[in-house]
Amino acid sequence: MAITREKGMDNTHRLLMEGFHYIPERRRKFQSNIFQTRLLGQKVICIGGEEAAEVFYDEGKFKRKGAAPNRVKETLFGKKGVQGMDDTPHRHRKQLFMSLMTSERLRELREITRWQWQVARDNWQQKREMSLFHESEKLMCRVACEWAGVPLFASELNQRTRDLAAMIDAFGAIGPRHWKGRTARNRSEKWARSLVQQVREGKRSPREGTALNAIAWHRDLNGKLLSLQTAAVELLNILRPITAIGRYVTFGALAMHDFPETSEKLRSGDETYNRMFVQEVRRYYPFGPFLGAKVRHNFNWSGHHFNKGTLVLLDVYGTNHDLDLWENPDEFRPERFKEWGGSPFDFIPQGGGDYDMGHRCAGEWVTVDVMQVSLEYLANHIDYEVPKQHLYYSMVRMPTLPKSRFMISRVTPR
C-alpha cells in the first residue's frame, strides 16, 4: 500500500510554522497514523500512536546512528553520546546511566531537591517579583550538580544554568537561539572535560555512585576509559536534562494556576494524586515534539514498505494527545492516570519501550521524583501571587514555555 504523501518539494517551512501540531494535524487530516513528507531536503516518514511507537522501538528495524541532524548534536545532544549509539555498544553505555538510578541514589536526590527548595524559598522572599521558570532552572542546576558530584561555586551558578538552559532552548531553533546553544555547549563541554580530568588526575574525588565518578572511570567495551570529550558529553547528558526539569515545574505551576481545583487536591497531601498530577503535566504539556530514527533494513509495517536508510519521525506530542488512546486528550485531568494500563508505548513524553535495552530516557524516574517533590513543595509550602501577565505558550516554538516565563510575587512560607 502506498503511503499518503504530503505535497510540496520540501515542507520544512511548514514544520517550523506549525511546530508541535505539524505531525498530529496531518495524521488527522490524512486519517492515517503514517504519512510521507520531505524535511530538510530528505524523504521522511512520520508515524504516531501506540503501535507506531512499538515498531519505532523495535531495534531490529531501526537504528539511531546518523538519525539526529548536526544542528541538534551541536546544541542539545553533543557528539558521540549515548543517543546516537546502537546495539551492544549502546547497551553498555546505557548501563552507565542506569547504574546511577538506584533506589538509594533516588532517595538522596529527593532529599537534595527538597533542601534546595527550602533554600530557594528563603531567597525568594527577598525578591519583589521573579520568574518562576528562571529560578526553577537555577534550582534544578544546583540539584543536578550536587547529585552528580559536581562542584558548583555560587559565582558560577548563573552562567552554568544559562548555558545548560541554552542547549535545551536551542533544539528546535534556527538563527540566534541556535547559535546561543552552540556557544553554551562549547563552554559547557570545556568545563565538563576539566572536571573529568581533575577526577582522573586525583585532584577531585566525587563519591562513588555519583555521575561524575561513574563517567570519569567508565570503560567502553574495548576496556578503555572514555575520551575526555565523550565523558564531557555524557556528564552533560545528566546535568542538562535535570536542569530541564525546571520547564516541567513551570508547567506544573501553570496547571495549578489554570486549574485551581488541582492545586486544592495537591494540598490535601494525597501522594497518589501528586503522582498522577506529575504524570498529567508530562502528558499534557508540550516538551519534545517527535523523535527520529533510521530504517535499519527494508521491512513492512501496517501494509507499508519502509526502505533502508529512510528517516522516520515518531510523533511524541501527538501520541500523548491521541484520541484513540486518551479520553478528551486536550483536557487536563490527572485522575485519568488511575485507569492508565502502564503501556510502555502510549504515554511517551520521555520516549517508550525499555530503559536498559532501548533508548527510553534514562532519567525518567529522576524526572518524576524531582517533579513530585517540587510540585508538592510549591503547593504546600510556598504562598505566592501570580500577577497579570502573558501565560499563553506557543505551540510553534520548540521547546515552548509560557511567554512571560511565569512571574510570581510576594513569596512567603506557607
Binding site, annotated residues for heme: 361
Give the residue with the Cβ less far from ligand HEM, 306 or 411.
306
Q: Which of residues 289-348 bind ligand HEM (CB under 6 A)?
A: 291
367 binds ligand HEM (CB under 6 A): yes
- What whole-number distance in Å separates Cα of residue 394 and Cα of residue 390? 11
Note whether 48 binds ligand HEM by CB under 6 A.
no
CB-nearer residue toward ligand HEM: 265 or 283: 283
Shortest Å, Cβ 197 to ligand HEM:
22
**Contact (CB, 8 A) for 293 and 59:** no
CB of 97 to ligand HEM, least distance (A): 5
Residues 96-135 that bind ligand HEM (CB under 6 A): 97
Report the C-alpha gap between 31 and 278 in whole angstroms.
31
Sign of the torsion angle spanned by Cα atoms 266, 270, 272, 273: negative
Nearer to ligand HEM, 275 or 305 (CB): 275
Q: Is 288 a binder of ligand HEM (CB under 6 A)?
A: yes
Among 48, 181, 252, 349, binds ligand HEM (CB under 6 A): 349
Options 19-27, 121-129, 190-198, 237-245: segment touching ligand HEM (CB under 6 A):
237-245
Pairing of strands 311-315, 42-47: parallel
DSSP 30: T
- CA 234 to each of CA 106, 148, 203, 237, 412: distance values in angstroms, whole numbers, following the listed order: 19, 12, 20, 5, 38
Q: Answer yes or no whether residue 286 interacts with ligand HEM by CB under 6 A.
A: no
Q: Establish if 366 lies at the interface with ligand HEM (CB under 6 A).
A: yes
The residue of the chain with the least Cβ separation from ligand HEM equals: 363
**Within 74-93, which residues bind ligand HEM (CB under 6 A)?**
82-83
Phi, psi (deg, nearest 5) at residue 384: -155, 160
Cα–Cα separations (whole angstroms), residue 130 to 29, 163, 275, 285, 373: 42, 20, 27, 22, 21
Query: How far apart (Å, rounded) are the C-alpha atoms in residues 122 and 253?
Result: 19
DSSP H helical ranges for 40-149? 50-56, 70-72, 87-98, 103-124, 132-148
Distant-in-sequence contacts of 264-271, Cβ < 8 A, 24+ apart: 265/334, 266/375, 266/376, 266/379, 266/380, 267/379, 267/380, 269/380
Q: Is there binding between residue 287 and ligand HEM (CB under 6 A)?
A: yes
Contact 319, 52 (CB under 8 A): yes
Q: Does 160 bind ligand HEM (CB under 6 A)?
A: no
6 versus 364: smaller Cβ distance to ligand HEM:
364
Residue number, 241 or 334, with CB nearest to ligand HEM: 241
Q: How far is the CB of 213 from ligand HEM (least distance, A)?
A: 15
Smallest gap from residue 278 Cβ to ligand HEM (A): 11
For residue 178, what is its C-alpha cell? Answer: 541556535
The footprint of ligand HEM (CB under 6 A) covers: 82-83, 94, 97, 237-238, 241-242, 244-245, 248, 287-288, 291, 349-351, 359-363, 366-367
